A and B are shown apart, each in its own frame.
Chain A
Amino acid sequence: MSGIEKSPWLIHYDASSCNGCDIEVLACLTPMYDAERFGCIVTGDPKQADIFLITGSVNHLNIPVVKNLYEQMPEPKAVVAIGACAYTGGVFSECYNISGGVANVIPVDVYVPGCAAKPESILDGVVRAAQILAEKRKSLKVSQREKRKAMKKAKRVKGGAKAAGGQS
């Protein structure tokens, strides 16, 4: 256990949301809901974040920003798409400038329903994402171990081939 689920640090980005969901995200930090109970810290730095909270339908101008933030986060990472807009584009889905949901730009792990999403369900989504992070971390470790093994094997085979080449 790496304990990543005990300290999920968040980064919050508003990708052309109407701000309704963002107000609810901020409400999660208030004494009423207190996201810090779960060890959450909202950082502003993607390099220090584990979970990406994203609201809104993502328009064409902020696609590079969303991708940039996502790519700067270290592995393992989880994305929580908050609200109807982040799911399908919501009431804006027919607009000419809308990509129609976060999943069209970056992979999403948890969808939080609602318009606007309730703070309770956002917290629920964050806790679920923290569990997914723990699972991802486990599989990442396994895949790294396998990679290392495969590399060692490849080296051995290569070395063997060289030795054989030297003899002939």
Chain B
Amino acid sequence: MSGLTLENLSMRFDLPSGDHVQALQDVSLEIKTGELVSVLGPSGCGKTTLLNIIAGFLAPTSGKVSLNGKPVTGPAQERGMVFQKGALFEWMNVRENVSFGPRMNRVPTAESAPRVDRLLDVVGLGAFKEKAIYELSGGMQQRVALARCLANDPDVILMDEPLGALDALTREKMQGLVLKLWKETGKTIILITHSVEEALLLGERLIVMAPRPGRIHKQYHLPFADMGVNADLREVKHHPDYTRTREEILNMIWDMEEEIMGRSEAST
């Protein structure tokens, strides 16, 4: 059985006040190898919790996660992660950051160095290999994070709002890069975002989550990621299907947010 399987995942946090938060309830999902899935939802819908469970940083209260038939019990290199920011090691230069995974796994330098060099060229940092992290811009730092994750050759790449802290222009460029890397490497990618546009453009499959309790609300299979690989992302945005789907999802999320507001107002 190949791919990532989530079976009836539930996550419940008990609060010190005696209350509890149902962050996830009965989430089941099948993700095929090589799929690019984007996860979207209003704040508090448990999308980051979901990603942390898949990464192995959190154990679910019930349900299980398995990758290629093997159950997930903790973090491991087969599930690489790209964070929003702050995950790079400032005491290492760009090349040392990217080669961190291979070095920790005792891959001989002779074997890993060419791959690291090639990855740095692919993400457009060929001229910055010896630079310190704090000398790079935010966009360049995220390129390092992508390359570092890929250097370990993981089966699944988990992205937690990887472009969330970037400015709009850089973000657009980086979206193209993510698509390009997906196409070139054929990795399974799960991308969490709070931008509807990004979810539409990058997701082969789009999962909309609803809050309280966190659950899967609706799934879409989208053609835009495949279109974006071959064409300009800007052109994809003018596609009538794109505009229609975007409006539909935006309305859905607005309704959810209003419902939360209404519920919290009713309870106070």
Answer yes or no: are A and B bound together in one complex: no
